[in-house]
Structure 1
């Protein structure tokens, strides 16, 4: 993959370029560690790299920024992602309406991004999304070490000073159902030995259509690609 690495607001950003551009960009919001390999190439985990390569082969320009690992969609992370979008819009020859892919806690950030810049997003795909800090807390409530770590990370992300402040913040954060103002798909990967709670029709999904929430087996990466490209093509009919 052809790529460009640069710094924006002291954060590493990377753009992966296709050999034959189709004019559409994909903003990827997930956890990227920002490591650069010995060959000066950005390091990306294998499943993600495979999907990025497929996006490039199909003509999509993929761009993302390195964020703090546990940003929990704080204002600094949102500002960085929005600044990256504006930078790419100014400097790359792309349709201003982009596609969005969000992983894990990146879904919280994507929801805020869509609230601000939904008019510039063509479609959104959420992979194993975490739309709720409360749900993350419930998953580790019986594991004291992990709960303590979550509170510690949340304190850093939002400058909170106590566990009580963390609990108050979690209980009052994003209490509304998920609102996605663009065509979208939510995909959860399910291990054979464990049904992921997020695949249920939980309260935060109550206003979303059933066919927009899919559960795939943990090895279903090819099925994920098909879901993504079908959605992309559907939303590219009107420029």
Structure 2
């Protein structure tokens, strides 16, 4: 019987490696957002119909995809960054993979990705961001329009950063302006405020520095329908091993 998933614990969080039938030697670290989970021997990447289609396509192309629970709603906390680092090294020991990996960050996962490429020993080949949250402070300001959502998000952020002081969390932000790693952002038409403001700013800053950047705007219902386009982007950055 073919083994397609291998579950294990990384620190105290459940993790999973989604295994291809014919490995191509390249790995993808998937860092999800608010609906992301790996628990009870189950992964949202195979229980969410559209995400499963995307993951199955990557597997069919030989990619090894790995992720973990990241403490739930992590909001890019240092604890989650440390876990991502240990997960990477654990997978590198378990699987025969090129040490330079691709990363997909969705929603708040982008906050964690940003910190990884700023100050992590992980070798990152390319980055894909799907409907990313790029700035924690801006996200909280948008949430203020609905006091119920704002209070919930504020509680999550303080809990993730293990602090009672919001400024402590906000001071740990970062940006995608300077790192040379190629980046492609997939942003929904519903996400118009972010791609007209935050994402366009990143685009301007990176292109002014002659750093690799591309953007694709899509309809929300097709969020996970761009696996082939992502694969094409990945392949562009696999020529140098």
* TM-score normalised by L of structure 1: 0.86
Residue 173 of structure 2 corresponds to which residue in structure 1?
174
Please list every run of 5 or more consecutive structure 1 residues that lacks an aligned counterpart in the other structure.
Answer: none
Say whether 1:184 aligns with 2:180.
no
* 2:43 alignment partner in structure 1: 42
How far has the Cα of 1:160 moved from its partner? Answer: 2.5
2:233 pairs, out of 231, 234, 238, with 231
Unaligned runs of 5+ in 2: none
Q: Does residue 65 of structure 2 align to residue 62 of structure 1?
A: yes
Give the alignment's Cα RMSD to 1 decimal: 2.3
Range that drifts further, 42-51 or 127-136 = 42-51
Question: In the alignment, is the contact (CA less than 8 A) between 2:188 and 2:223 conserved in 1?
Answer: no
Where does residue 87 of structure 1 map in the other structure?
90
**Counterpart residue number, 2:20:** 18
For each residue in 1:41-89, what CA deviation from the matched residue of structure 2 results, as whole angstroms up to 9, or x when unmatched?
5343122111110000000000001122221111110011100100111
Q: Is the 8 A contact 2:183 2:213 kept in 1?
A: no
Q: Is the 8 A contact 1:134 1:170 kept in 2?
A: no
1:199/1:118 CA distance change after superposition, 3 Å: farther
| Bigger Cα displacement from structure 2, 9-18 vs 146-155 | 146-155
Cα distance in 2 for partners of 1:171, 1:155 equals 10
1:199 aligns with 2:195: yes
**1:132 alignment partner, one of 125, 129, 135:** 135
For these two proteins, the number of residue pairs brought into alignment is: 229
Deviation at 1:196, TM superposition (A): 2.4
The one of 203, 206, 209 equivalent to 1:208 is 206
8 Å contact kept, 1:72–1:157:
yes
Shift of 1:178: 3.9
Equivalent of 2:37, from 5, 19, 33? 33
Question: What TM-score does the superposition give when structure 2 sets the normalisation length?
Answer: 0.86
Alignment of 1:104-115 (within 5 A): 104-115=107-118
Q: 1:137 to 1:29 in 2, by over 3 A?
A: same
CA–CA distance in structure 2, aligned partners of residues 10 and 100 of structure 1: 22
Does the 8 A contact of 2:115 with 2:174 survive in 1? no
Kept in 2, the 8 Å contact 1:185–1:213? The answer is yes
Counterpart Cα distance in 2 of 1:64 and 1:234: 23
